[in-house]
Chain A
Amino acid sequence: MIEVSHLSKNYGERRAITDLNFKIEKGDVVGFLGPNGAGKSTTMKIITGFMAPTSGEAKVCGYDVFLNPIEVKKRIGYLPETPPLYPDMLVEDYLRFVAELKQVPIEKLKPFVDRALEKAQLTDVRRRLIGNLSKGFKQRVGIAQALVSDPEVLVLDEPTVGLDPKQVAEIRDLIKELRGEHTVILSTHILPEVQASCNRVIIIHEGQIVAQESIEQISKLSSGTIMLNIKTRKHGVLESKLGALDGVSHVETLNSQQYKLTIDDDEDVIESVAREVMNSGLGLLELAPAHANLEDVFLKLTYGQNTR
Chain B
Amino acid sequence: MNGMYVIFKKELAGFFQSSLFYFLSFMMTILLGIMFTTSMEKFAQSSSNAMLQFGVTPQALNIHYAVFLPHLSIVNLIFIFLVPALTMKLLSEEKKVRTFDLLLTSPVTSLAIVMGKYFAALVTILALIGVSFIYLVIARRVFEFDWGPTLVSALGIFMVAAVYVAMDLFASSLTENGLVSFVLSIVFNLSVWFVGALNESFDSPNVKAVLEHISLNTHLAGLIEGTVRTNGLIFFFSLIFLFCFLTERVIESSRWSD
A interface residues (Cβ-Cβ under 8 A, vs B): 11-12, 48-52, 70-71, 73-74, 76, 78, 80, 82-88, 97-98, 100-103, 106, 145
Contacts and interface: CB of A to CB of B under 8 A. Distances in A.
Contacts of B106: 73, 98, 101-102
Q: Please list the 7 inter-chain residue pairs (A to B) with the smallest Cβ-Cβ separation, ordered nearest first.
A: A84-B102, A73-B107, A101-B106, A84-B99, A100-B6, A82-B98, A80-B101
Given A88-B18, A101-B6, A80 B1 contact: no
B255 A52 contact: yes
B102 A98 contact: yes
19 contacts: A11-B258, A49-B104, A51-B256, A51-B258, A78-B105, A80-B98, A82-B98, A83-B98, A85-B99, A87-B97, A88-B14, A88-B17, A97-B6, A97-B10, A101-B6, A101-B107, A102-B106, A103-B1, A103-B107
A186 B42 CA distance: 72
B109 interface: yes
Interface string B91-122: 00000011111111111110000000000000
B104 A50 contact: yes
B167 to A, nearest CB: 25
Of B1, B17, B97, B102, the most chain A CB neighbours within 10 A belong to B102
B148 to A, nearest CB: 42
Nearest to A70: B107
B176 to A, nearest CB: 13
- Interface size class of chain B, counting residues whose CB lies under 8 Å from the partner chain: 20 to 34
Contacts of B256: 51-52
Contacts of B102: 78, 80, 84, 98, 101, 145
Nearest to B13: A93
A284 B214 CA distance: 93
Contacts of B222: none
Given A84-B102, A86-B97, 6 more contacts: A50-B101, A73-B105, A73-B106, A80-B101, A88-B14, A101-B7
Contacts of B6: 97, 100-101
Contacts, number: 68
**Chain B contact surface mostly:** loop
**Chain A contact surface mostly:** loop
Given A50-B255, A88-B14, A106-B1, A101 B108 contact: yes
Nearest to A14: B258
Contacts of A100: 1, 6
B196 interface: no
A48 B105 contact: yes
B70 interface: no
Nearest to A10: B258
B255 A86 contact: no
Interface string B2-32: 0100110010001001100000000000000
B164 to A, nearest CB: 24
A220 B80 CA distance: 69
Of B10, B104, B106, the most chain A CB neighbours within 10 A belong to B106
Nearest to B17: A88
Given A76-B105, A88-B14, A101 B3 contact: yes
A70 B108 CA distance: 7
A84 B100 CA distance: 7
Nearest to B3: A101
Contacts of B255: 50-52
Contacts of B99: 84-86
A131 to B, nearest CB: 10
Contacts of B14: 88
A73 B256 CA distance: 17
Interface string B105-145: 11111000000000000000000000000000000000000
A70 B110 CA distance: 11
A4 B256 CA distance: 19
B1 A85 contact: no
A50 B251 CA distance: 11
Given A86-B99, A100-B6, A101-B6, A49 B105 contact: yes
A12 B257 CA distance: 9
Of A50, A76, A78, A84, the most chain B CB neighbours within 10 A belong to A84
Nearest to A71: B107
A289 to B, nearest CB: 47
